[in-house]
């Protein structure tokens, strides 16, 4: 009897493929499709992913759990994550962590640091800029002071008649939609509050955090008003005011025009300009470009100056303090330019004290006493009506010009250098390592002492110094019958751009 034929065993049913990865990819693809179609802005899309990316992992886990239970009921071995799933999961985790970190960055502060405009911000991070305008008006107390706070935006202060403060507001709001912009605008309305005689104008841009709200304000108020202004980003301009001014400013420019009163500018990477000021000017902190012209008062500069300093006609003392330069003198009838490598001035009046390093120094038409110390730079001094002069210069040449018929007692010494003189009255000895020039030009003159190390000394005959031209006299307005002629105000002098 033939044995029965045993059929071969049936092959196991194939395990179904996991759908977790494709579902996650479909969801990501839908989000990116909404971005490319303009339904969602890329900035909003990025925020959605940064906040909710763990939900994709949760969804993946739920799908894998359902697949496991289905395979268990069917008696099939469950499918694992697989190599592709592992790579996709790693990508999601890394991309999600990076997106979350980026979303927590204070982009408004970074925009302020790099001075990125709203239009540029829109291009990089999506969204649009919406414009709004408003006006405020309120009675101003007689003899009161005004405090202005504006984190982001320009501030312009002008004189107005009457006893009111008026504010014209122009606002830019960065947002994804008009509805969001309207909401941000409503929450950032500027406010005016009064406590005793102190009026505070707050632009209120910080009310919505880092939402890209910038508020420009034109402020009109009585002339005799003291001002305290705090601005983090945006220019500040003050025109024609009388009273004390204190400005705390970051990243922008402060301009003071036709002002009567003392002004203190606390700057952080800002520039400052002033013209036609009757009062003392003080700058503290870290400044970029500084330009002051026609100051009827003293100028005090204390801090670090990154670009250049220009002073034109200062009637009282000037003091300058930085990590490299310590300088003070009595009056400036001409101009002074100072940058990282040069200090040039004309028509200075001493006594003057200057200590610096790594600068080429040129002083033209100096009157009065001078004590100058310099390292690693040349020194050129042209005397007008000299007092006692002492110049100590290391690793640089020194030249001093003495005007005709000017009595001076000279004592000059240099090491590793030579001395040249146009005056036969001086006894010049040039030796191998040391040189000297000693003698008197005329009688009963002040002392001129020059000490040099690794540099030549030249004592030259100068020319008769010409006094700097006086500012132009403003023309008079035509007389009216029965009224005295009134002089027109002096025209504003154009500021000359600083040089590096």
Based on the fold, state whether residues 347 and 278 are members of the same structural domain: no
Based on the fold, state whether residues 187 and 283 are members of the same structural domain: no
15: in domain? no
Structural domain ending residue among the three candidates 214, 234, 254: 234
Residues 12-64 pLDDT 10s: 555 556 666 677 677 777 777 776 765 666 666 677 777 777 887 787 778 77
Radius of gyration of the chain (CA): 37
Based on the fold, state whether residues 456 and 349 are members of the same structural domain: yes
Based on the fold, state whether residues 184 and 244 are members of the same structural domain: no
What φ, ψ does residue 186 adopt, rounded to 5°? -65, -35
Pairing of strands 348-349, 331-339: antiparallel
Tokens of 219: 């402020």
Based on the fold, state whether residues 346 and 454 are members of the same structural domain: yes
Residues 168-220 pLDDT 10s: 999 999 887 888 889 989 999 999 999 989 999 999 988 877 677 899 999 99
Based on the fold, state whether residues 251 and 227 are members of the same structural domain: no
Round to whole Å and give the CA distance between 394 and 358. Answer: 10
Helix (H) or strand (E) holding 267: strand 263-278
Q: Euclidean distance between the first and final Cα of the chain, in Å? A: 115
Round to whole Å and give the CA distance between 121 and 119. Answer: 5
Rounded to the nearest integer, the mean pLDDT of the chain is: 82
Residue 83 lies in domain? 20-103
Based on the fold, state whether residues 349 and 273 are members of the same structural domain: no
110: in domain? no
492: in domain? no
Query: Please, what is the angle between helix 42-73 and helix 20-36, to 10°?
Result: 160
Round to whole Å and give the CA distance between 421 and 312. Answer: 33
330: in domain? no
Based on the fold, state whether residues 135 and 200 are members of the same structural domain: yes
186: in domain? yes
- Residue 42: other Cβ atoms inside 10 A: 16
Based on the fold, state whether residues 70 and 24 are members of the same structural domain: yes
What pLDDT sits at residue 411? 96
Bigger pLDDT: 338 or 51? 338
Map residue 53 onto helix, strand or coil. Answer: helix
Tokens of 378: 């040349």
Residues 315-330 pLDDT 10s: 999 999 999 999 999 9
Based on the fold, state whether residues 228 and 242 are members of the same structural domain: no
What pLDDT sits at residue 217? 96
Round to whole Å and give the CA distance between 314 and 286. Answer: 22
190: in domain? yes
Round to whole Å and give the CA distance between 78 and 262. Answer: 83
What pLDDT sits at residue 43? 62
Map residue 120 onto helix, strand or coil. Answer: helix
Structural domain ending residue among the three candidates 202, 234, 266: 234
Residues 284-304 pLDDT 10s: 999 999 999 999 999 999 999
**Strand residues in 315-426 grouped as ranges (E):** 318-321, 326-329, 331-339, 342-346, 348-349, 352-355, 360-375, 379-394, 398-402, 408-415, 419-421
Q: Which residues are CB-neighbours of 56 under 8 A, at least 6 positions away?
A: 24, 27, 28, 92, 96
What φ, ψ does residue 496 adopt, rounded to 5°? -90, 135
pLDDT at 75 exceeding the cut of 80: no
472: in domain? no
pLDDT at 76 exceeding the cut of 90: no
What pLDDT sits at residue 154? 95
Based on the fold, state whether residues 209 and 170 are members of the same structural domain: yes
Residue that is written with structure tokens 């801090």 in the block? 303
What φ, ψ does residue 61 adopt, rounded to 5°? -65, -40
Q: Provide the pLDDT confidence category of residue 495 given band limits of 50, 70 and 90.
A: very low
DSSP state of 223: S
- Residue 268: other Cβ atoms inside 10 A: 15
Q: What pTM was estimated for this model as a whole?
A: 0.71
- Residue 191: other Cβ atoms inside 10 A: 13
Q: How many domains does the chain have?
A: 4
Residues 363-414 pLDDT 10s: 999 999 999 999 999 999 999 999 999 999 999 999 999 999 999 999 999 9
Based on the fold, state whether residues 370 and 355 are members of the same structural domain: yes
Round to whole Å and give the CA distance between 414 and 437. Answer: 9
């Amino acid at each position: 009897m033939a044995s029965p034929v045993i059929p071969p065993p049936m092959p196991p049913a194939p395990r179904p493929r996991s759908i977790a990865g494709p579902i996650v990819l479909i969801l990501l693809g839908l989000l990116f499709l909404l971005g490319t179609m303009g339904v969602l802005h890329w900035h909003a899309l990025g925020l959605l992913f940064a906040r909710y990316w763990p939900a994709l992992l949760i969804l993946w886990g739920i799908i894998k759990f359902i697949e496991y239970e289905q395979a268990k009921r069917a008696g099939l071995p469950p499918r694992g994550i697989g190599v592709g799933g592992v790579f996709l999961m790693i990508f999601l985790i890394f991309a999600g962590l990076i997106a979350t970190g980026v979303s927590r960055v204070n982009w408004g502060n970074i925009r302020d640091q790099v001075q990125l405009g709203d239009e540029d911000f829109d291009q990089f991070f999506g969204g649009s800029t919406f414009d709004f305008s408003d006006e405020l008006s309120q009675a101003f107390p007689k003899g009161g002071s005004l405090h202005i706070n504006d984190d982001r935006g320009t501030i312009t202060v002008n004189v107005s008649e009457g006893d009111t403060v008026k504010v014209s507001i122009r606002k830019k709001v960065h947002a994804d939609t008009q509805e969001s912009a309207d909401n941000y605008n409503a929450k950032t309305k500027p406010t005016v509050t009064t406590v005793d005689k102190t009026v505070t104008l707050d632009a209120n841009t910080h009310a919505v955090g880092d939402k890209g709200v910038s508020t420009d304000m034109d402020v009109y108020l009585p002339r005799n008003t003291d001002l305290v202004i705090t601005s983090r980003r945006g220019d500040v301009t003050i025109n024609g005011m009388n009273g004390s001014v204190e400005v705390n400013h970051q990243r922008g420019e402060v301009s003071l025009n036709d002002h009567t009163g003392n002004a203190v500018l606390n700057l952080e990477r800002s520039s400052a300009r002033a013209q036609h000021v009757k009062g003392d000017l003080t700058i503290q902190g870290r400044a970029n470009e500084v330009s002051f012209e026609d100051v009827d008062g003293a100028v005090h500069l204390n801090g670090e100056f990154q670009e250049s300093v220009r002073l034109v006609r200062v009637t009282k003392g000037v003091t300058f303090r930085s990590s490299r330069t310590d300088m003070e003198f009595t009056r400036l009838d001409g101009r002074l330019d100072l940058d990282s490598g040069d200090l040039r001035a004309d028509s200075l009046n001493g006594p003057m004290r200057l200590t610096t390093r790594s600068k080429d120094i040129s002083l033209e038409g100096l009157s009065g006493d001078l004590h100058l110390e310099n390292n690693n730079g040349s020194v050129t001094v042209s005397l007008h009506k000299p007092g006692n002069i002492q110049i100590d210069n290391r690793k640089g040449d020194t030249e001093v010009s003495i005007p005709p018929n000017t009595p001076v007692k000279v004592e000059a010494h240099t090491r590793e250098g030579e001395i040249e003189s146009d005056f036969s009255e001086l006894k010049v000895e040039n030796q191998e390592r040391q040189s000297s020039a000693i003698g008197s030009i005329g009688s009963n003159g002040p002392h001129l002492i020059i000490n040099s190390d690794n540099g030549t000394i030249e004592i030259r005959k100068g020319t008769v110094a010409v006094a700097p031209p006086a500012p132009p006299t403003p023309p008079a307005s035509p007389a009216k019958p029965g009224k005295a002629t009134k002089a027109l105000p002096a025209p504003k002098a154009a500021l000359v751009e600083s040089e590096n």
